[in-house]
Amino acid sequence: MFCSKGNVIRKGSILVDTLLLGALCLVISLYLFTIELQEYKNTKSMNRYVRKVDVNQENNEWLLTDLISLVYGKVEEKSLIVTDNNVKYVLTQSTELIKIWHNNSFIIYNRVNDCFIINSYFDEYYHREDIYDYRVEGGKFKCNYRNTTYVLGKVNQ
């Protein structure tokens, strides 16, 4: 009554269908796994990039921080108010050379161009010169980046 002789199912046909569907599910899950793995690698790479410390940038920050405290100290030593003219007066009238060291880098005041130059090693054949202009805004001494040049040879000490 329930068996019909007209529809004969061959042996193993259900097994083949099950294997094909299982393989399809496995391929889809492996594809999704590779997408998740790529997302994890990209996130890890971005995290590493964000946390990377640039040695030149760190040296420049240290040198500029020391320079700002030195300029404030020299201006207050002369009992002056921090303005463009007073800072320029203190920097040009200083008998000693303004030179601050940190690691293998130093900052120096260039009286001819009225700017600060940070010298640091780029590699063993070149050194890097970052040039900063300065200004006073609202009683605060600020340094503005102008440009960078790479010079052949060792840093003059």
Residue type, 75: V
Any domain includes 107 = yes
pLDDT digits (tens, 9 = 90+) for 46-83: 999 989 888 888 888 999 999 999 888 888 888 788 88
Backbone angles phi, psi at 81, to 5 degrees: -90, 145
What pLDDT sits at residue 55? Answer: 82
What pLDDT sits at residue 156? Answer: 62
* Better-predicted residue by pLDDT, 33 or 124: 33
pLDDT band at 24 (very low <50, low <70, confident <90, very high): very high
Closest CA to 87 of 105, 102, 65, 109: 109
Q: What's the average model confidence in pLDDT over 30-50? A: 95
| Residues spanned by the domain of 134 | 55-152
41 and 116 fall within a common domain: no
81 and 133 fall within a common domain: yes
126 and 72 fall within a common domain: yes
* Better-predicted residue by pLDDT, 29 or 4: 29
Any domain includes 47 = yes
47 and 61 fall within a common domain: no
30 and 48 fall within a common domain: yes
71 and 45 fall within a common domain: no
pLDDT digits (tens, 9 = 90+) for 86-123: 888 888 887 677 888 888 889 999 888 889 999 988 77
Average pLDDT over the chain, rounded to whole? 86
Claim: this prediction has a pTM higher than 0.85: no
Backbone angles phi, psi at 36, to 5 degrees: -65, -40
17 and 68 fall within a common domain: no
Cβ atoms 74, 90 nearer than 8 A: yes
What pLDDT sits at residue 1? Answer: 45
Any domain includes 5 = no
41: Cβ contacts below 8 Å, ≥ 6 apart: none
37 and 61 fall within a common domain: no
pLDDT digits (tens, 9 = 90+) for 134-145: 998 888 889 999
Instruction: Work out how many domains the chain is built from and give that number.
Output: 2
100: left (phi over 0), alpha (psi -120 to 50) or beta: beta
